[in-house]
Each structure stands twice: as C-alpha cells, then as structure tokens.
C-alpha cells in the first residue's frame, strides 16, 4: 500500500555528492615535472632523471607523465629549453625593459653571481647541465647555443660603448669567463674580496683601448 506524502513534512536534504577530484594529470603541469627533473639533475645526475623516479618524487603514477610528455627525451629537451629561457632570454629581456645604459648593463652582468640564493641555485643548475653536456650531444648543443647568445649580447654592450667588434668580443669573453668563475668558485674569498675582484674586472673591461 502506498503511503501519502505529507506536504508539511520537511524535505529530505539532498544527498551530499563528493566533488570529483581533479585527476593528477590536470593537477600537475609540465613546469612541475621540469622543476622536479631539474632538482634530480642537480642532486644526482641526468641518469637519475627517469619517469619512475619523477613519479615517485611527485607522488603520482607513471601514466600522468605521459599526459604532458611523449617520452623521456621530450622531457629532457624541455628541461634544456626551460634553462635557456630562464638563464638567458629572460635576463636579457629584463635588462632591456629597464632601459639601462650599456655601462649599467655591464655592471649588472658583473653582479649576477652575487644575487644570493637565486645565484646559488642558478650556478648549481648550470654546473649540472654542463656536466651533462660533456657526454651528451643534446645538452652540448644547448650549452653551445646559450654560450653564443650570452657572448653576443655582452659584446653588443661593449660595442655600444664604442669598442670595435673585435675588442667588444674579447671583452665580452673575459666578462663571461669571470661570471662563470665566480659562480663555480663561489666559496673562494670573503664578500669583501669578491667585491674587490668585481670592481677590478669592471675597471679593466671599461678602460679605453
């Protein structure tokens, strides 16, 4: 027998339906994978950068990796591109947007190795990538391109100060070699000694022929 529904009776609350969780593949972005891969590269080596290790680090399944990358090679290529963008193109864009003079840009470039944690992180990544490049063609080509872009940009700064192209290129090489040395030998000397070295290099490089 059916039971009549009392129109005065309170309505039953609708059952709570759990919101569907976003799948891991939409929660993680390619940037997340690239950053995790870069951390593994720095902490260990490129050999440690594999799908299983990354999935474990990020707490996801292997399948989520393939939502963003076709294979490990694609990830490695994106890592190198990310490094190139962060280490070269973004720096150049920032300097040019500030509208600094060529002399100011050279001073800025000379100070890059001393930018605290950001500089330490950047030099760690740079060291790891250059170690990778010693035995891998893909990484070596990326490093060669980055070196050429940086040297070309620095040479343009010296050309803007009136040095001929040959002299500008030579001074750019010295500045770049100094930057790399300070980054890789960051534990050598006190803050005062490092500042003395920076000022000496700046005086030498800006001195007229």
**Inside any domain, residue 72:** no
Residue 37 located in a structural domain: no
- DSSP letters for 50-104: -HHHHHHHHT--HHHHTTT-SSHHHHHHHHHHHHHIIIIIHHHHHHHHTT--HHH
10: left (phi over 0), alpha (psi -120 to 50) or beta: beta
Residue 41: inside a domain, yes or no?
no
Task: Return the residue matching tokens 């470039």.
Answer: 109
> pTM of the predicted model, to two decimals?
0.78
Task: Answer yes or no: is 6 within a domain.
Answer: no
Model confidence over 5-19: pLDDT tens digits? 343 443 333 334 444
Residue-range definition of the domain harbouring residue 164: 80-206
DSSP at 188: S
Mean of the per-residue pLDDT values of the chain = 84
Give the pLDDT confidence of 154-203 residue by residue, as tens digits.
Answer: 999 999 999 999 999 999 999 999 999 988 887 788 889 999 999 999 99
| Per-residue pLDDT, 16 | 43
Position 54 in a domain: no
Evaluate whether residue 39 is within a structural domain: no
Q: Is 106 a residue whose pLDDT tops 50?
A: yes
Residue 142: name the closest of 179, 87, 185 by CA: 87
Q: Is 12 inside a domain boundary? A: no
In tens, the pLDDT along 69-91 reads: 999 999 999 999 999 988 777 67
Q: How far apart are CA 63 and CA 78, in angstroms?
A: 18
Residue 156 placed within a domain: yes
Residue 194's contacts (CB-CB under 8 Å, 6 or more residues apart) are 114, 182
Domain count, the chain: 1
- The pair of structure tokens assigned to 155 is 């040479």
Whole-number Å distance between alpha carbons of 72 and 128: 18
């Amino acid at each position: 027998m059916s039971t009549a529904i009392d129109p005065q009776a309170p309505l039953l609350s609708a059952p709570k339906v759990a919101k569907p969780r976003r799948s891991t593949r939409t929660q993680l972005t390619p940037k997340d994978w690239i950053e995790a891969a870069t951390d593994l590269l720095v902490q260990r080596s490129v050999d440690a950068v594999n799908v299983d290790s990354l999935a474990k680090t990020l707490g996801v399944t292997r399948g989520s990796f393939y939502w963003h990358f076709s294979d490990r090679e694609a990830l490695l290529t994106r890592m190198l591109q990310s490094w190139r963008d962060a280490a070269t193109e973004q720096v150049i864009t920032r300097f040019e947007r500030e509208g600094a003079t060529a002399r100011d840009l050279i001073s800025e470039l000379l100070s890059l190795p001393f930018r605290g944690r950001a500089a330490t992180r950047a030099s760690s990544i740079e060291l790891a990538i250059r170690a990778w490049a010693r035995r891998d063609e893909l990484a070596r080509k990326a490093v060669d391109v980055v070196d050429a872009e940086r040297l070309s940009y620095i040479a343009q700064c010296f050309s803007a100060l009136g040095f001929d192209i040959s002299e500008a290129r030579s001074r750019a090489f010295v500045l770049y070699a100094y930057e790399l040395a300070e980054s890789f030998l960051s534990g050598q000397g006190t803050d005062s000694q490092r500042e003395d070295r920076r000022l000496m290099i700046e005086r030498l490089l800006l001195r007229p022929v």
